Amino acid sequence: MVTIPSLKQALRSRQVTIGSWITLAHPAIAEIMAGAGFDWLAVDLEHSVLTIRDAEDLIRVIALCGVAPLARLSHNDPVEIKRVMDAGAHGVIVPMVNSREECERAVASVYYPTGGRRGVGLARAQGYGMSFEAYKEWLQKEAVVIVQIEHIDAVDNLEKILSVDGVDGYMIGPYDLSASLGVPGQFDHPQVLSALKRIHEVADRLGVPGGIHVIQPDPSEVKRRITEGFTFLAYSFDMLMLGTTCRQGVRAVKSVPYPAGGGSA
């Protein structure tokens, strides 16, 4: 059986972990990325056309490669949370959590009673019915709940959200946060910077580890975010890394002078 380092313990001890988003359904994508050295990988059900069947296949590959598999949900839905957890996800990243009540619903949907209200089933996570007791114990010790702070309403309610028992960390969604302030994509806008400062201050005071999604595949930006205190970093996503690498390579090749008599088609 493959041993996967505890992401929950890494979050608690404020270790820096680097992950990424998977939006393409082919299992080879998950296998390639898992072999690249990421600490965790999130199957993205929000901004992709991935199905629950795709998610199970990707979660399986990620886990068998020894990396913690997470699922970024399409929305804060107890049924979807139950299905991805039953498929073997080690935790969920919940988008657009804007209130304490929404946060409590997400946490309760991950855990079984009495601590939660997730329905009990026997699927891949429970060893297809062969290891329910072991899974029940693992769930209490290792399941991860990350809430996405990506709206000004969430910033305004941040103390209440991050005070919910069972929240392991937060992740800032920079595009949606800036959009909620009326300045989409303007990450250096004073209003966005003010919101980020408040998130840092509240999270540090409450002792909740945080992260941010660095959209462009720029290692220097990840390093900058680490120096700012973020420990749960998402480094780009599969589609953008593929497109960026292809464009950079083609531009570099086409910039090389062609020999006499040669030329591009």
Catalytic residues: 47
DSSP 77-88: -HHHHHHHHHTT
| Phi-psi category of residue 9: left, alpha or beta, with phi > 0 → left and psi -120 to 50 → alpha | alpha
Alpha carbon distance 234, 222 (integer Å): 8
Pairing of strands 91-94, 169-172: unpaired
Alpha carbon distance 167, 111 (integer Å): 12
Contact call for residues 70 and 40 (beta carbons, < 8 A): yes
Contact call for residues 62 and 44 (beta carbons, < 8 A): no
Task: Specify the 3-state DSSP secondary structure of 183.
Answer: coil
Q: What tokens were used for 35?
A: 């072999």
Task: Give, rounded to a whole angstrom, the gap between the first and last alpha carbons of the chain.
Answer: 52
Q: What share of the chain is helix, strand, coil (3-state, %, to 5)?
A: 45, 15, 40
Task: Specify the 3-state DSSP secondary structure of 201.
Answer: helix
Alpha carbon distance 4, 61 (integer Å): 13
Q: What tokens were used for 144?
A: 């991860």
Alpha carbon distance 220, 77 (integer Å): 35
